[in-house]
A and B are shown apart, each in its own frame.
Chain A
Amino acid sequence: MAVDELLAQFHEIAASPKKQLEKYLAQGKKVVACAPVYTPEEIIHSMGLVPMGVWGADQKVGEAKKYYPAFICSIMQTVLELGITGKYQGVSAIVIPSLCDSLKCLGQNWKYAVPDIPFIPMTYPQNRKPSYGIAFTKAGYERVISDLSAATGAKFSEVALADSNRIYNEHNAVMREFAEIAADHAVSAAQRSDVFKSAWFMRKEEHTAMVKQLNAELAQTPKDKGKIRVVVSGILADSPSLLEIFDKNEIRIAADDVAFESRQYRTDVPEDPNSLDALARKYANMDNCSVLYDRDKKRVDSILELAKRHDARGVIVLMTKFCDPEEFDYVPIKRACEAAGLLNLNIEVDRQMVNYEQANTMIQTFREMF
C-alpha cells in the first residue's frame, strides 16, 4: 500500500475514536478507557480487553465545570465532560492513574459524575526505583487486575501478560523506528501526529502491523530536506490547527518529548520470569517525564541530547495550560536551551483553544530567524 494511503488510514482512525470503539464493541470485545499519563495497558490487553486512550478532546467544557475549579488542566476537564455526556458509552471501566494532582481530582470526580463506568485507580509510588517502590507499583497493578475482573469478568494470567508484554515491546520498537524515519522523510506534523494518536485507539498488534508497513514504505522514499528541525516537548501535540502552523512554516518535528507520543514508547518491559514483576520494573525504569519524580531533573539533559542527536535548531515547548508538573520543568529546560545556544519557544495550549494567532506569530517568527 502506498504511503499516502497508509497515512490516510492512520488519519481516519485518529480522527474517529468513536468508530473504533463501536467496531470493537461490535466484535464482542470489552473496552477499557485509559486516562493519561501511564496506565498498565499490558495488563488490560492480557485479560482480553481492549485498552483505549482517553486524553480529552478539543471542545468546550460545560457539565464538567461543576466538578472542577476554574484553573485546572483542560485535558482532565474534557475527559470528564466526555464521560458525563455519554461519549464513552459502552466502555466497561476506566483506569485513572494518580500521577498528578489534577488526575487525582479526575478519579475522585469520576466516581460521582460518571457512575455507570467503574473507576479503577492506579496509584503509583513517588519513589518508583527502589525495591519497595517496585513492590508498591506491583501492588497497584494487583488492585487494577482485581478491579478489572470485577468490572468485566475477565481473568488474569501471568502467561497471557508475558505475551502482552512482548506485543507492547514490539509496538514500542516500531514507534521508535517510525519517529526516526519521520524525522527525515516527507511526513507532515499532522501526519506524524495521526500515527501516534491512532495508537491510542487500536489494539497494539494491529497498530504494529500498520506502522511496520508504513516504516517500510517510508524508508524507500527519498529523504526530505530543507526544513527547520525542532524538538517538540509537552503533554499533547495533537491539535490540527496548531500542527498546520508547523507545516505551513516548514518546520519539521525531528523528535518529540511529548507525553502523548514518544514518552510512551521509550521503555520496554524487561526480561523477567514473572511477567507482573517485569511490568512493575518497567515503570521503575521509566524516566525523563514531568510526572515521574526525578530530583536531578535528568529530563532536561535528555531533551538537549534529543535535539543534538536530531540536528534540531530549537525546542518548542507546547505548555498545557495549568499543568503544574510541566511548568515546574520548563524553567530548567529554558535555561539549559539558552546555555546550549538552542532557541526555545513556550507556546501555551489547551483543549479549548480556538484561536492560534499568537502561536502562529511565534512559530512564524521562529522560522524567520533562520
Chain B
Amino acid sequence: MFTLGIDIGSTTSKAVIVKDGREIVASSVVIATVGTDGVSDAIENVLGESGLEHGDISVTFATGYGRQTYPDADGQVSELTCHALGVHHVFPDARTVIDIGGQDAKVLALNERGRMANFVMNDKCAAGTGRFLDVMANILKLDISQLEVEAAKALHPAGISNTCTVFAESEVISQLAAGTKIPDLVAGICKSVASRAASLAKRVGVRETVCMSGGVARNAGVRKALEQELNVNIASCDMAQLMGALGASLYAYEKA
C-alpha cells in the first residue's frame, strides 16, 4: 500500500510517498506554499520519482500551515504529530525533537514508543524561526544556504539580541556599520536562533537523543549553536525538512 503525506508549510511544500508504512519511496521539497502551485508540483514530483500514478495512492493526509484548506486529502493532522512520527521513524531513539520551521518553532517530547508526551510552541513571534534567518540573510545580501558556510568561518561570534526580529535587524545593521565581519555576524545570528529554541526546549525538558527537524535543521550553524546551548549532540539528517510530510504519510498508513 502506498500512502502520501503532504506538508504545506509557511514557505515550502513537501511531499513523501511511503510503501506499507515503512519504506520511503519518493520525496520532494518545493519552495512555494499555500495559494501557489507548490503543493501540486511537490505531488507531481513524488509521483514522477516513484513511477506511481494518483490512483496508486491509497490514502493521502495533509499537514502543516495549509492543511485545513487543502481539498484533496483524505484527512488532515497537525504538524507536531507528524514530526513526532517522522522523526521516530528515522531516529527510533529520539526523545526530544526540535522543529524549527519557516514561521514557528516547536519542541516535542517523545516517549519510548515514539508517541508525543508533551510539546511546546513558540510565541507568535518571528524570533527563533526560519523567518528570522531569512530577514537576516536578506540584510547581509546572502542566500540562506550560505549562512552555514559563513558561520563556520567565524572567529568571534557577534552578540545579537534574540528578543525581536525587528530590533535584531537594526542591531545587525549597526554592527555592519561598526565593521563587524560577516562571518561573526552570521554566527551571532545562528546563536540567536539557537538560544531561542533552547529556551523552548528547556520548557519541555531535554532528553537524549535530541533530534532536529524542519528547514532550519539544514543549517549547520544553527545546529552547532544549539548543541552548545543545550550541551548535547543533536541528530539530524538530509530528510530533516521532510519529517512532517513523512509523518503525514505514516499517519495515513495508520488510518488506512
Q: Is the CB of A348 within 8 A of B121?
A: no
Contacts of A362 in B (CB 8 A): 119, 121
Q: Is the CB of B78 within 8 A of A361?
A: yes
Contacts of B121 in A (CB 8 A): 358, 361-362
Contacts of A131 in B (CB 8 A): none
Q: Is the CB of A365 within 8 A of B123?
A: no
Q: Is the CB of A358 within 8 A of B124?
A: yes
- Known contacts A358-B121, A369-B116; A364 and B78 CB within 8 A of each other: yes
Contacts of A369 in B (CB 8 A): 81, 115-116
CB-CB contacts of B105-135 with A at 8 A, as 1s and 0s?
0000000000110110101100000000000
Q: Is the CB of B78 within 8 A of A357?
A: no
Q: Is the CB of B81 within 8 A of A365?
A: yes
Minimum CB–CB distance for A102 against chain B, Å? 20
Q: Is the CB of B77 within 8 A of A357?
A: no
Q: Does A343 contact B (CB under 8 A)?
A: yes
Minimum CB–CB distance for A247 against chain B, Å? 15
Q: Does A206 contact B (CB under 8 A)?
A: no
Q: Is the CB of A358 within 8 A of B104?
A: yes
CB-CB contacts of A85-108 with B at 8 A, as 1s and 0s?
000000000000000000000000
Contacts of B116 in A (CB 8 A): 365, 368-369
Q: Does B148 contact A (CB under 8 A)?
A: no
Chain A residue with minimal CB distance to B124?
A358
Minimum CB–CB distance for A232 against chain B, Å? 18
Of the residues B65, B78, B104, contact of A368 by C-beta under 8 Å: B78
Minimum CB–CB distance for B82 against chain A, Å? 10
Q: Is the CB of B81 within 8 A of A368?
A: yes
B-side interface residues, number (CB < 8 Å): 15
Q: Does B80 contact A (CB under 8 A)?
A: yes
Chain A residue with minimal CB distance to B81?
A368
Q: Is the CB of B124 within 8 A of A348?
A: yes
Q: Is the CB of B124 within 8 A of A361?
A: no
- Known contacts A348-B123, A348-B124; A361 and B80 CB within 8 A of each other: yes
A331 to B188: give the CA distance in the assembly, Å: 30
Most A CB contacts (10 A, CB to CB) among B68, B78, B123 go to B78
Minimum CB–CB distance for B62 against chain A, Å? 12
Contacts of A360 in B (CB 8 A): 68
Q: Is the CB of A365 within 8 A of B78?
A: yes
Q: Does B79 contact A (CB under 8 A)?
A: yes
Minimum CB–CB distance for A15 against chain B, Å? 25
Chain B residue with minimal CB distance to A368?
B81
Most B CB contacts (10 A, CB to CB) among A338, A361, A362, A369 go to A361
Contacts of B123 in A (CB 8 A): 348
Contacts of A358 in B (CB 8 A): 104, 121, 124
- Known contacts A357-B65, A358-B121; A365 and B104 CB within 8 A of each other: no
Most A CB contacts (10 A, CB to CB) among B116, B121, B123 go to B121
Q: Is the CB of B115 within 8 A of A361?
A: no
- Known contacts A348-B123, A348-B124; A361 and B118 CB within 8 A of each other: no
Minimum CB–CB distance for A334 against chain B, Å? 8
Chain A residue with minimal CB distance to B120?
A346
Chain B residue with minimal CB distance to A357?
B65
CB interface residues, B 71-110, toward A, < 8 Å: 77-81, 104
Contacts of A343 in B (CB 8 A): 118
Contacts of B81 in A (CB 8 A): 365, 368-369
CB-CB contacts of A346-370 with B at 8 A, as 1s and 0s?
0010000000011011101100110
Contacts of B80 in A (CB 8 A): 361, 365
Chain A residue with minimal CB distance to B80?
A365
Minimum CB–CB distance for A336 against chain B, Å? 15
Chain A residue with minimal CB distance to B116?
A369
Minimum CB–CB distance for A348 against chain B, Å? 6
A278 to B140: give the CA distance in the assembly, Å: 68
A343 to B65: give the CA distance in the assembly, Å: 24
A191 to B89: give the CA distance in the assembly, Å: 41
A338 to B80: give the CA distance in the assembly, Å: 19
CB-CB contacts of B24-43 with A at 8 A, as 1s and 0s?
00000000000000000000
Minimum CB–CB distance for A330 against chain B, Å? 11
Minimum CB–CB distance for B31 against chain A, Å? 21
Most B CB contacts (10 A, CB to CB) among A348, A357, A364, A365 go to A365
A198 to B196: give the CA distance in the assembly, Å: 42
A361 to B120: give the CA distance in the assembly, Å: 11
Minimum CB–CB distance for A363 against chain B, Å? 9
Chain B residue with minimal CB distance to A346?
B120
Minimum CB–CB distance for B91 against chain A, Å? 20
18 further contact pairs, Cβ within 8 A, besides A361-B79, A365-B78, A365-B81: A338-B118, A343-B118, A348-B124, A358-B104, A358-B121, A358-B124, A361-B78, A361-B121, A362-B121, A364-B77, A364-B78, A365-B116, A368-B77, A368-B78, A368-B81, A368-B116, A369-B81, A369-B115
Would you give 9 A-B contacts (Cβ < 8 Å), ordered by A? Answer: A348-B123, A358-B124, A360-B68, A361-B121, A362-B119, A365-B81, A365-B119, A368-B116, A369-B81
Closest 6 CB pairs of A and B: A365-B80, A365-B78, A364-B78, A368-B81, A361-B78, A369-B116
Q: Which residues of B contact A (CB under 8 A)?
A: 65, 68, 77-81, 104, 115-116, 118-119, 121, 123-124
